[in-house]
Structure 1
Amino acid sequence: MNHLTTDQIIRISKATLMLFISFFGLLVMYSNFTDYPSNYEYVAHVLSMDTTSNNLKYSYRAITSPMLHHRIYWLIITLEVLFTIFCLVGTYHLYRNINSSAQEFHEAKKFAIIGLMIAFFIYYACLQVVGVEWFNMDESKEWNAKDWARHITDFILPLLVYVALKIER
């Protein structure tokens, strides 16, 4: 009977957790492409700041151009596609190198780390920092994704640390 070592389980867990975040990315991409109008509406409301309190006080921050709404939404979609592709490629490389040397397995992490950094940029820097702090997204009752984004970053950041750590032997 084949007995798994702790090192093998750690490697498998890193690759499997990357598979989970890749699956999430695929679902987000599917949603963005199949339900563009609903997701666009969210982006337009956040950028326009038309559902936040103190709308007049901070209205100079608002972006009200539909053309810019579409372009910013497509930038977000592009970043989500990139994060998903990098995570999928990273997952593939981790599984492919699961029985390689510690150095080869560690080097196989680079695509996964890039994908996780892009994801962290989207859900932390873009949504939580810019969306909440600049566009006051958290003040909107209908178009507030602050908690949703926080839950995602609560998974991404520890995963980034776990995958990047060189604990395999």
Structure 2
Amino acid sequence: MNALTTDRLIRYSKIILMAYISFFGLLVMTHNFTDYDSNYTYVAHILSMDTTTASDTIKYRAIESPMIHHRIYWFIITLEVTYTVLCLIGTYQLYRNINASAEIFHEAKKFSIMGILAAIFIYYVCLQTVGVEWFDMDTSQSWNAKDWARHIVDFIFPVMIYITLKVER
């Protein structure tokens, strides 16, 4: 039986953290497919800017077309499926290479990194940047996902840094 060394524990911790992110993605996907309307309503209000305190000088940014709301929401769902699948594959690749050399284990991180980058795109670029800075989402009292998205990024970005570090021997 292999002894649990610090190097081995580091490898296991990277797999476990990727499994956490994958699990989160699976829950988000399940929610979006089984309760489409709740998050669609969220997206529609953000895009419409109908609950923000935005001034009239930026109200031209609002998108009021339900067809475009659905298309943007499906784009977000597609990105969530993509990041979840990439993270699941990444978790599997890390697990599959748990006993491999440091170089092979490091190379097995590709899908994990791609998955986390896709997740950061959704939660940082789409929600925190576009949602807040373009659609003024942070001024809405009822349809504001800024803090929720920030908490996700606050977890996954440090995980990406940790995953990418080549500390395994």
TM-score tier after normalising by the smaller chain length: over 0.9
SS in 2 for 1:144: coil
- Deviation sequence 1:133-163 (CA, Å, 0-9, x none): 0001000011001000000000111001100
Answer whether contact 2:54 2:136 (CA < 8 A) is retained.
Answer: no
Please say if 1:41 is aligned against 2:36: no
Answer whether contact 1:49 1:55 (CA < 8 A) is retained.
Answer: no
Please say if 1:133 is aligned against 2:142: no
Answer whether contact 2:51 2:141 (CA < 8 A) is retained.
Answer: yes
- The CA RMSD measured in Å over matched residues stands at 0.9
Task: Look up the match of 2:86.
Answer: 86
Distance 1:64 1:70 in 2: 11
- Deviation sequence 1:112-140 (CA, Å, 0-9, x none): 00000000000000000000000010000
Give 1:52 deviation, angstroms. Answer: 0.3
| 2:96 aligned partner, one-letter code | R
| 1:161 aligned partner, one-letter code | I
| 2:109 aligned partner, one-letter code | K
Distance 1:91 1:63 in 2: 38
Distance 1:160 1:17 in 2: 10
Please say if 1:149 is aligned against 2:149: yes
Distance 2:133 2:23 in 1: 29
Report matched runs for 1:42-61 at 5 Å: 42-61=42-61
Give 1:106 deviation, angstroms. Answer: 0.4
Report matched runs for 1:98-137 at 5 Å: 98-137=98-137
Answer whether contact 2:7 2:168 (CA < 8 A) is retained.
Answer: yes
Which consecutive unaligned segments of at least 5 residues does structure 2 have?
A: none
Q: Relative to structure 1, is the Cα distance of residues 99 and 2 closer, same or farther in structure 2, using a 3 angstrom cutoff?
A: closer
Task: Look up the match of 1:8.
Answer: 8
Runs of 4 or more consecutive aligned structure 1 residues displaced over 2 Å after TM superposition: 54-57
Identity of aligned residues (%): 69
- Deviation sequence 1:43-101 (CA, Å, 0-9, x none): 00000000000352321110111000000000000000000000000000001101100
Q: Return 78-87 or 49-58, whichever deviates more.
A: 49-58
Task: Look up the match of 1:28.
Answer: 28
TM-score normalised over the length of structure 1: 0.98
Distance 1:66 1:42 in 2: 12
Distance 2:142 2:33 in 1: 22
